[in-house]
Amino acid sequence: MTPPRFAVVILAAGQGTRMRSDRHKVLHPIAGKPMLVHLLDTVESIGAARSVVVVGKGREQIEAAVSGRAVDTAVQDEQLGTAHAVSMAKAALAGFDGPVVILYGDTPFVRGETIATMLERLAAGDSPGVVVLAFTPADAKSYGRVILEPGSDRIAAMVEYKDATPDQRAVGLCNSGMMAAHARDLWRWLDAVGNDNAAGEYYLPDVVAVARGEGRHPVAIEAAEAETAGVNSRAELAELERDWQARRRREVMDSGVTLVDPDSVWFSADTVVGRDCMIEPHVFFGPGVSVGERTVIRGFSHLEGTTVGDGCEVGPFARLRPGAVMERGSKVGNFVEMKKAVLGEGAKANHLTYLGDATIGAKANIGAGTITCNYDGFFKYRTVIGAGAFIGSNSALVAPVTIGEGAIVGAGSVVTGDVPGDALGIARSDQRNIGGWAADFRAEQKAKKDQA
């Protein structure tokens, strides 16, 4: 379904006081992506012609978050209600005469297909004027109610919970706050909305009554509760995160990936995992991770900003930081950390290793306890390890340094200069054995202890 040319107005001027945060409410992340960005990505994916975000307190944060996008902002200086907030977008949409969809920055998961359905219903032959997105929650709580005409999708009344009668509160169909109307009608109807209600605010749902007064027949379409779920507290943020993760885990498994313990694996919004991968328990994918096919991610590993090729093995207890690249068939084992490092095809770092600002060639073997010393307190330097090189255990490679192809670094070495290809590099003191020293030492120490 291809929607007509349309604009969106996203309301994001609320104070968000229940979040108790210096961060604007709509910028709190779910799956590593701010809620507002989730929503903008959706409307952009279905071709919104114009997007306006209505801002208030914290506007600088939102303007920074949408920088570089084709998004305008409009300011609501006084919090006078949702109808008043939408009217603040009028100047930004001057000259636009198509349909306008009104969304909320703290309600990030309305689907593009649902928005398209709203627009399709708005364009239907009976010309309803307004389409309201409704839902039927398991617990209707204090949501505004949508009262339909019997046997119809036409709206007989919309009422805020605090203004509703007991009979109206008994209705299960609730208002999500999202709606669509043509710009040519919307601004006129908003001007006609009053504030004669318990809160003294200008309510957006009152547009429905104004439209009905002009002889139009506003309608409601129903969406799943998950699409209309919003965030007003940290607890609600956690609930949406949990719900998103559950959906994503199912999608990943349906795509051909094994999750040994699905509930313990956490994805980001942009995580890509190829088919026939296996992910063990307690794995966390931060933003910017792509994993190829037939790769095993073992338990308690943390990946962020990382590319992992086909047929690799990661962990357990591995940490891959931004800029880490594992090429086909490479392996990092337990307690290995990579940062801005490339591990070549078939190369291995099996345990207890830090690889930072490094390039490791194909089939190189990095021994336990190896460290690339990449930082001198001021600048970062790069280590290059050639194909087929062998780095002995407990070695420190002080960058900038190059270990040639096929070279071997002796265990326990502190390497400060280049090692040519196929050479043996050893940088450690000669061993001395002093006969009887240990026995004398123990006797001396025992005597001191006995006298204490």
Mean pLDDT of 241-254: 97
pLDDT at 361 over 60: yes
pLDDT tens, 168-184?
999 999 999 999 999 99
Chain centroid, CA 384 distance in Å: 33
Mean pLDDT of 280-302: 98
pLDDT at 370 over 90: yes
Mean pLDDT of 325-338: 98
pLDDT at 15 over 80: no
Mean pLDDT of 180-196: 94
Mean pLDDT of 127-140: 94
* Banded model confidence at residue 2, pLDDT cuts 50, 70, 90: low
* Banded model confidence at residue 162, pLDDT cuts 50, 70, 90: confident
pLDDT value at position 273?
Answer: 98
pLDDT at 1 over 80: no
pLDDT at 198 over 60: yes
Mean pLDDT of 127-151: 93
pLDDT value at position 3?
Answer: 63
How are beta strands 331-343 and 401-403 bridged, if at all? unpaired
Q: Is the peptide bond before 218 cis (omega within 30 degrees of 0)?
A: no
Q: How far apart are CA 338 and CA 277, in angstroms?
A: 21
* Banded model confidence at residue 140, pLDDT cuts 50, 70, 90: confident
**pLDDT averaged over the chain?**
95
pLDDT value at position 431?
Answer: 85
pLDDT value at position 22?
Answer: 93
pLDDT value at position 142?
Answer: 87
pLDDT value at position 384?
Answer: 98
Mean pLDDT of 214-240: 95
In the residue annotation, 351 being an active-site residue is answered as yes
pLDDT value at position 62?
Answer: 95
Tell me which of 3.90.850.10, 3.30.2130.10, 3.30.230.10, 3.90.550.10 is the CATH number of domain 7-228: 3.90.550.10
Q: How far apart are CA 238 and CA 221, in angstroms?
A: 28
Span 234-425 CATH architecture: 3 Solenoid (2.160)
Query: What percentage of residues in the chain have a pLDDT greater than 70?
Result: 99
pLDDT at 247 over 60: yes
Sorted by where each begins, the domain ranges of the chain are 7-228, 234-425
Q: Which of 3-17, 197-211, 280-294, 430-444 shows the highest mean pLDDT? A: 280-294
- Given a contact cutoff of 8 angstroms between Cβ atoms, the answer to whether 197 and 160 are in contact is yes
Mean pLDDT of 213-222: 96
3-state secondary structure the chain: CCCCCCEEEEEECCCCHHHCCCCCHHHCEECCEEHHHHHHHHHHHCCCCEEEEEECCCHHHHHHHCCCCCCEEEECCCCCCHHHHHHCCCHHHCCCCCEEEEEECCCCCCCHHHHHHHHHHHCCCCCCCEEEEEECCCCCCCCCEEEECCCCCEEEEEECHHHCCHHHHCCCCEEEEEEEEEHHHHHHHHHHCCCCCCCCCCCCCHHHHHHHHCCCCCEEEECCHHHHCCCCCHHHHHHHHHHHHHHHHHHHHHCCCEECCHHHCECCCCCEECCCCEECCCCEECCCCEECCCCEECCCCEECCCEECCCCEECCCCEECCCCEECCCCEEEEEEEEEEEEECCCCEEEEEEEEEEEEECCCCEECCCCEEECECCCCECCEEECCCCEECCCCEEECCEEECCCCEECCCCEECCCECCCCEECCCCCCCCCCCHHHHHHHHHHHHHHHC
Lowest-pLDDT range of 2-6, 56-60, 160-164, 225-229: 2-6
Mean pLDDT of 136-159: 92
pLDDT value at position 120?
Answer: 96
pLDDT value at position 4?
Answer: 67
- Given a contact cutoff of 8 angstroms between Cβ atoms, the answer to whether 208 and 82 are in contact is no
Q: Which of 65-69, 94-98, 163-167, 302-306 shows the highest mean pLDDT? A: 302-306
Residue from 24, 38, 282, 351 carrying the catalytic annotation: 351
